[in-house]
Structure 1
Amino acid sequence: MGDGNPGTDPGAAVRLLWEPQPQPARGPKRALSLERIAQAGIEIAEAEGLAALSMQRVAGLVGVTKMALYRYVPGKAELVALMVEAALGEGPPPQDVHTGWRDRLGDWARAMGGVFGRHPWLLDATVGPRVLGPHELAWMEQALTALDGTGLTGAERMDAVVLLAGHVRGIVQQERATGGTAGPEAQFDEQLGLVMRAHGERYPALCAALASVAAEGGQDQALEFGLARILDGLGLLVAERSAPGARTG
């Protein structure tokens, strides 16, 4: 039996993520918990990346055979789903409901960035069609709830959440590519500076920008800069929806 193909049995992932796990009617009782199995998978992904994950390696960590592991988790896709839920914890940190939508979405995006920063393999695990678990949906629910009363339509709220999540993911992806040393912008500026010293006369605007960065600082603020600009744009749309005669959803 292989490690399983993503999407081959969505029902299996639904049962693992959303339903209580009964003891088998026959045979020995389960000696492992799904939480322990998920943590074993996370240990591998944290150390070596999601590509290194396999049912065989997880089975070895929890002290069972690969075939025995299939009694708990039917395949690798379901294993990854359990790992995502475990890494996301109980959902996003609670928010003050009396805080404005802008601050709430900003806090939400920063919290998401923290989770992805601690578990970079989540970038690979949370793409493509798949079954979402309770914790992941709790994150989406909180962001959508923050937009209550803004006048945005349901589609606009969903697009806003996707836009924010995409921004966070992009920044964390850059940070992962740098190996967690100097910030991605600082590394880029340093490498670009080598080229500009030899060919800078061809790119005067770029040289001026780099000189400004060197003089005034400001590297590695892309997360906050982009977040502020996204929220600024949403603010304009919210104001438009709040104008007399505007349509609401």
Structure 2
Amino acid sequence: MQRVAARPGVTKMALYRYVPGKAELVALMVDAAIGPCPEARRGGWREQLEEWASQLFAVFRQHSWALDATVGPRVMGPAELSWLERAVSALDGTGLSGTERMDAAVLLVGHVRGITQHARAAGPADDPEAQLGSILGELMRTHGERFPALIDRRAH
């Protein structure tokens, strides 16, 4: 809070007139950075979630600090909630219960976060999944006999 207060030239205590604590400040920062989730442009649930995941990946790549700021139980702002809402609503009409739709959305967020973390660790790249595939390919060439199921998966 001290560093945040120093930027506009106010005291740390003056910030508490606007936000009650660090959790709320972080939620505001995340909301300002990620913005509201764009509307879906595609049709079915699969296409909507593919588009959504690509958009979320781009947001996390642009604001990598948001990966650390959006972990665990926390205050969530309306923009962050709009991303979750869009993923859950994409699964409307699939026959999944509300809990199952929420679980699927959280699972997909975790997948996007994982891919983004791999991409962040590897440096700039256009396709982190291809990059990971390349790394796995090299490992399989070297140690493939120990991992036949992985080799079978890569063959398809």
TM over 0.5: yes
Change (3 A) 1:121 1:85: same
Question: In the alignment, what sits opposite 2:21?
Answer: 75
Using the TM superposition, give the Cα deviation of residue 179 of structure 1 relative to its aligned residue in structure 2, in angstroms. 3.5
User: Which residue identity lines up with residue 53 of structure 2 in the other structure?
Assistant: A
Between Structure 1 and Structure 2, how many residues are aligned?
A: 148
State the one-letter code of the partner of 1:127: V
Cross-structure match for 1:94:
39
1:85 and 1:173 mapped to 2: Cα distance?
20
What is the Cα deviation at residue 154 of structure 1? 1.4
* 1:141 to 1:181, Cα distance in 2 relative to 1, 3 A: closer
Give unpaired runs (5+ residues) of structure 2: none
Task: Tell me the CA shift for residue 185 of structure 1.
Answer: 2.3
Query: Residue 7 of structure 2 aligns to a residue in which SS?
Result: helix
Q: Equivalent residue of 2:48, what SS?
A: helix
Deviations 1:181-213 (A, max 9, x none): 6855278469859xx7xxx4xx24479989xx9
Per-residue displacement from partner, 1:159-189 (whole Å, max 9, x unpaired)?
1111211110000011112233685527846
Higher helix share: 2
Q: Distance in 1 between matches of 2:104 and 2:37?
A: 17
Q: Where do residues 190-201 of structure 1 align in structure 2 (5 Å cutoff)?
A: 200=142
Identity among equivalent positions (%) equals 57
RMSD: 2.9
Cα 1:189/1:204, change in 2 over 3 Å: closer
Q: Provide TM-score, normalisation by structure 1.
A: 0.51
What is the aligned partner in structure 2 of residue 84 from structure 1? 30
Which residue does 1:147 correspond to in 2?
91
Q: 1:109 to 1:186 in 2, by over 3 A?
A: closer
Q: Is structure 2 residue 82 aligned with structure 1 residue 138?
A: yes
Determine the structure 1 residue equivalent to 2:7.
61
The aligned counterpart of 1:179 is 123
CA shift, 1:145, in A, is 1.5
Where structure 1 has 5 or more consecutive residues not aligned to the other structure, the ranges are 1-54, 214-249
Give the match for residue 107 of structure 1.
51
* Alignment TM-score, normalising by the size of structure 2: 0.79
Q: Corresponding residue for 1:46?
A: none
Deviation string, structure 1 residues 41-81 (Cα, Å, up to 9, x no partner): xxxxxxxxxxxxxx111111112222322322232222111
Structure 2 distance, partners of 1:148, 1:122, is 28
Q: Take 2:77 and 2:119, find their aligned partners in 1: how far apart are those partners?
A: 26
Q: Bigger CA drift: 164-173 or 61-70?
A: 61-70
1:47 alignment partner in structure 2: none
Aligned to 1:129, the other structure's residue is in SS state coil
Decide which structure has the larger Cα Rg and report it: 1
